[in-house]
Amino acid sequence: MKTSHRALGTALAILTTATLASCGSGSEPAATGGTVTLSFMTGSDQATVATTKALADGFMKANPTIKITIETQPGGSEGDNIVKTRLATGEMTDVFWYNSGSLLQALNPAQTMVDLSNDPVLANVQTDYLPVVTNAGKVYGVPAASAAGGGILYNRKVYDQLGLSVPKTWADFMANNEKIKAAGITPVIATYKDTWTSQLMVLGDFFNVQAAVPDFAQQYTAGKARFASTPAALEGFQHLADVQAKGYLNKGFGSTTLDQGLKMLVEGKGAQYPMLTVLLPPLLAANPQAATDIGFFGIPGDGAANGATIWEPNAIYIAKTTKHLAEAKKFLAFVASTAGTDAVSAAVQPTGPYRVKGAKLPDNAIQAAKDVQTYIDAGTISPALEFLSAIKGPSLEQITVAVGSGITKPADGAAQYDQDVQKQAKQLGLPGW
Amino acid sequence: MTRQQAGPVTGPGPDSTARHARGASARRRAAYPYAMYLPAAVVYLVIFLIPTGMAFYFALTRWTLFDSTFVGLDNFRDFLAEQNLRIGFQNTLFYAVVTSGLKVVLGLLLGVLLTSKLRLRGFLRSVVFFPVLVSTVAVGITFSMLLAPDTGLVDKALALVGVSGPDWLGGASTALLSVALVDVWKGVGLATVIYIAGILSIPQDYYQAVAVDGGTAWHRFRHVTLPLSWPATYSVIILSFIGGLRSFDLIWTMTRGGPGFTSDTIASIIYKQYQAGFFGLSTAGNVLLFLMVTVIMVPLTYLLGKRQVTT
């Protein structure tokens, strides 16, 4: 009897403490007096943290009564789980930074985020950005950083020396490769030790796919269009095999890493590298010449259209559980304004154009970012497939390595990828598969 | 020796009845009250038995960590339809056979060498054993550097004699073999230590008998050391074969199953599915791996154990 009383007492004590503690954390923002505190969860990689700080500092300067506290999540699938769990349990920060495109769909935005459709917050967001932050017809986020191009990074010095011009078709590209090879320079850098880097030839080719088959993304999501049976989509796999078959790749491409590849490109030992422009700004500290030497062009296709595939920036969203909706919206409006992009430009080198109306790249922006801007200004862009469809097969990187190393034939690789996609769709429980 | 021979008894007769009697008497007067077994039983139940049981259930579901839908045997069908499963099975078996085979041969030879009257014997024994102590991931990273094309030490050494080495880990034909050889380098120390123990436990009388009969070193090895170190061979084969079947860490650090799928094993296929968020599917794969290891190891243990009794 005595022990059970004591146990009861202990349990009560614990309960009381827990309740008190939760009360404490709940009422904390009010305790800071006249100011309101917005909590902001962001990613933990260096560029994201720097961008986040620049945005928060810029906003606090303009709005001294609002304070922003930043916390980070580890990124990757671990970060995904944290974001999902905290949204599901109602413990998310007021605003948070997260991927746009297919990953957003997995967060179940209708239940967890504040709908911004037709809200003045979006006034300055470029309209062709909106689809990647839209779920079931409702818009949820604003672009947090600059876009990136996915295509060919090339060494402009090598191009100048050999008198080459930027190729508009795949045939031009291969002709350039022949000349570069004859000059004793590696035409195309491949870094298949970091397997994800092998996907660019396929993913970066999406502009050409869309130019040939405008509704490919919808048909593909519905399970009706396949890579193997769509000639334009098969091209990406074919290109991958072509550069290897012709001997245009660096020696030992199977054990070369991303860092080694970037180094080869900057040093001019390799002329071209299928890659994202995101990778360039971190190089600048050690290789300032990368800012001007490295340019960008979209992967050329066989068709008449010439353009580039864009990786849209991540977005900032408002959690439905926020108690400071007005302040959160004010912050998002700041992010999606030229004041916001200027604040970011002052802190980090943009990897490509901003998706905010009127925002300009700074004069000292890297050449590759300016090249991407040219494509955007001309309107010859398409978001990458992963921003238009929730389905991306997890084995693409292994398949592209196999095709790019000459182990698997392009048509077989595309067929394997179709099966991989089917597996993913089944696991997601999508209709029509 | 006598205990080993009495151990796995398969024959009939007094022994099995004796064990029966012993079991019955043990039940009547257990050494401790049952309550004292409870803590260990709870730990075993919570940490081993329940998760194992749950794995068999979750293998039948589509599972997102938060919720699961029952899908019957779909996961097993999908896993078996996995296009690279054939390569995975072949590679797993190849890897297990190559590593355990080489560990037996090299371990035995090193064991014989290191039990001979050698100067620096203690030092050499520790040198052979040292790789066992190094973390597998560290070994993997180190060898990735050493095996890098052109810049790696191995290719540089080959260049000195005029040979242009292949891209060891990046080439489809060499990747798995390279990893297997590194695995042997790392694991042979343990095999050697087991052999040293086995060889040292052979009574000197047999060697003296060979000497009396005028036998050579070869006779000593062939007719005494080799047959009488069978228990050691048995342990080495079992340990390294199981290790080879579930091999993952070294392959993952060195090649990630690549290039493409050419060095994928069952374990790396399962891991990639887990990484992709297909938790139910990868659990189904684990259940299949469990069954496969059982199907291979139970007869193998039986066979090797029988051999051990007869010798």
Residues of chain B with C-beta less than 8 angstroms from the C-beta of A407: 172, 259-260, 262
Per-residue pLDDT of chain A (433 residues; tens, 9 = 90+): 344 455 544 444 444 444 444 443 433 444 445 689 999 999 888 888 989 999 999 999 999 999 999 999 887 767 888 898 899 888 999 999 998 887 887 788 888 999 999 999 999 999 889 988 988 889 999 999 889 999 999 999 999 999 999 999 999 999 999 999 999 999 999 999 888 899 999 999 999 999 999 999 889 988 889 999 999 999 999 999 999 999 999 988 988 889 899 999 999 999 999 999 988 888 888 888 988 999 999 999 987 788 999 999 999 999 999 999 999 999 999 999 999 999 999 888 888 889 998 888 888 889 999 999 999 888 888 999 988 887 888 888 889 999 999 989 999 999 999 988 888 888 777 777 7
Of B192, B106, B186, B173, whose CA–CA distance to B140 is shortest? B186
Residues of chain B with C-beta less than 8 angstroms from the C-beta of A394: 272-273, 275-278
User: Distance between CA A232 and CA A235 in Å, rounded?
Assistant: 5
Q: Which long-range contacts (CB under 8 A, 24 or more apart) does B253-256 make?
A: B253/B136, B253/B137, B253/B140, B253/B141, B253/B144, B254/B140, B254/B143, B254/B144, B254/B169, B254/B178, B254/B179, B254/B182, B255/B169, B255/B175, B255/B176, B255/B179, B256/A195
Tokens, residue B20: 């029966």
Residues of chain A with C-beta less than 8 angstroms from the C-beta of B170: 192-193, 252-256, 405
β partners of residue A139: A134
Residues of chain B with C-beta less than 8 angstroms from the C-beta of A396: none
How crowded is residue A231: how many other Cβ atoms within 10 Å of its Cβ?
12
> Do A427 and B281 make contact, defined as CB atoms within 8 angstroms?
yes
| Start-to-end C-alpha separation, chain B | 11
> Do B62 and A427 make contact, defined as CB atoms within 8 angstroms?
yes
For residue A270, give the 3-state DSSP assignment.
Answer: strand
Which residue type occupies A97?
A: W
> Do B147 and A405 make contact, defined as CB atoms within 8 angstroms?
no
User: Distance between CA A423 and CA A420 in Å, rounded?
Assistant: 5
Q: Using DSSP bridges, classify how beta strands A294-297 and A308-311 pair: parallel, antiparallel or unpaired.
A: unpaired
Residues of chain B with C-beta less than 8 angstroms from the C-beta of A251: 149-150, 167
For residue A95, give the 3-state DSSP assignment.
Answer: strand
Q: What DSSP string describes A147-161?
A: -EEEEEEEEHHHHHH
Cβ contact B219:B289 at 8 Å: no
User: Distance between CA B245 and CA B248 in Å, rounded?
Assistant: 9
Cβ contact A87:A140 at 8 Å: no
CA dihedral B217, B218, B224, B230 (to 10 degrees): 130
- The tally of domains found in chain B comes to 1
Q: Please tell me what DSSP assigns to residue A127.
A: G
In a mutagenesis test of the A interface, which of B261, B264, B275 is the best target, namely the one with the most A β-carbons within 10 Å? Answer: B261
> Do A256 and B256 make contact, defined as CB atoms within 8 angstroms?
no
β partners of residue A155: A294
Tokens, residue A311: 């990786």
- Residue B167 makes CB contacts below 8 A (sequence gap 6+) with A251, A252, A254, A255, B149, B174
Structure confidence at residue A240 (pLDDT): 93
With 0-12 CB in 10 A as exposed, 13-18 as middle and 19+ as buried, what is B282? buried
Of B82, B170, B256, the CB nearest to A253: B170
Which residue type occupies A274?
A: P
B52 or B246, higher pLDDT: B52
Q: Cα-flanking dihedrals φ and ψ of residue A234, to 5°?
A: -70, -25
Q: Give A38's Cβ-side CA count (13 Å radius).
A: 29
Of A251, A401, A419, the CB nearest to B83: A419
Structure confidence at residue A321 (pLDDT): 93
> Do B144 and A256 make contact, defined as CB atoms within 8 angstroms?
no
Structure confidence at residue A28 (pLDDT): 40
Residues of chain B with C-beta less than 8 angstroms from the C-beta of A395: 272, 276
Instruction: Report the CATH number that the domain containing residue B272 is assigned in CATH.
Output: 1.10.3720.10
Residues of chain B with C-beta less than 8 angstroms from the C-beta of A403: 260
H or E element in which residue B62 lies: strand B61-63
Band of residue B30 on the pLDDT scale cut at 50, 70, 90: low
Structure confidence at residue A227 (pLDDT): 92
Q: Please tell me what DSSP assigns to residue A314.
A: P
Residues of chain A with C-beta less than 8 angstroms from the C-beta of B78: 423, 426
Band of residue B35 on the pLDDT scale cut at 50, 70, 90: confident
A148-311+372-428: in CATH 3.20.20.30: no
User: Distance between CA A92 and CA A84 in Å, rounded?
Assistant: 9
Least-confidence region, from A239-243, B36-40, B184-188: B36-40
User: Distance between CA B265 and CA B239 in Å, rounded?
Assistant: 18
Of B260, B176, B140, B249, whose CA–CA distance to A254 is shortest? B260
For residue B168, give the 3-state DSSP assignment.
Answer: coil
Distance from CA of B148 to the nearest CA of A (A): 7
> Do A402 and B171 make contact, defined as CB atoms within 8 angstroms?
no
For residue A131, give the 3-state DSSP assignment.
Answer: helix
Of A81, A84, A405, the CB nearest to B260: A405
User: Distance between CA A96 and CA A316 in Å, rounded?
Assistant: 5
Give the residue on B whose Cα is nearest the Cα of A89.
B66
Cβ contact A171:A303 at 8 Å: no
H or E element in which residue A13 lies: helix A2-26
Size of interface A-B (CB pairs under 8 A): 86
Cβ contact A82:A114 at 8 Å: no
Give the residue on B whose Cα is nearest the Cα of A80.
B277
Which residue type occupies A300?
A: P
Cβ contact A414:A390 at 8 Å: no
Of A394, A395, A405, the CB nearest to B259: A405
> Do B258 and A252 make contact, defined as CB atoms within 8 angstroms?
no
Residues of chain A with C-beta less than 8 angstroms from the C-beta of B146: none
CATH architecture of structural domain A31-146+313-359: 3-Layer(aba) Sandwich (3.40)
User: Distance between CA A314 and CA A354 in Å, rounded?
Assistant: 11
| Start-to-end C-alpha separation, chain A | 62
For residue A38, give the 3-state DSSP assignment.
Answer: strand
Give the residue on A whose Cα is nearest the Cα of B269.
A395
> Do B167 and A81 make contact, defined as CB atoms within 8 angstroms?
no
Residue B298 has pLDDT above 70, yes or no: yes
Q: Please tell me what DSSP assigns to residue A142.
A: E
* Range of the structural domain that residue B191 is part of: 78-310
User: Distance between CA A96 and CA A322 in Å, rounded?
Assistant: 11
Q: Angle CA(B230)–CA(B233)–CA(B238) in degrees, nearest 5?
A: 130
Of B169, B262, B275, the CB nearest to A407: B262
Is B168 part of any domain?
Answer: yes
Distance from CA of A255 to the nearest CA of B (A): 5
Q: What DSSP string describes A376-431?
A: HHHT-EEE-HHHH-S---TTHHHHHHHHHTTSS-HHHHHHHHHHHHHHHHHHHT-T
Angle between helices B85-115 and B74-81 (to 10 degrees): 70
Q: Would you kindly state where each structural domain of chain A is located, as residue ranges?
A: 31-146+313-359, 148-311+372-428
Please state whether the peptide bond connecting residue B39 to the residue before it is cis, i.e. omega within 30 degrees of 0.
Answer: no
User: Distance between CA B148 and CA B165 in Å, rounded?
Assistant: 10
- Residue B298 makes CB contacts below 8 A (sequence gap 6+) with none
Structure confidence at residue A263 (pLDDT): 92
A116 or B85, higher pLDDT: A116
Tokens, residue B259: 């290039």
Structure confidence at residue A24 (pLDDT): 39
H or E element in which residue B61 lies: strand B61-63
Of A145, A125, A128, A188, whose CA–CA distance to A369 is shortest? A145
Cβ contact A298:A207 at 8 Å: yes
> Do B275 and A251 make contact, defined as CB atoms within 8 angstroms?
no
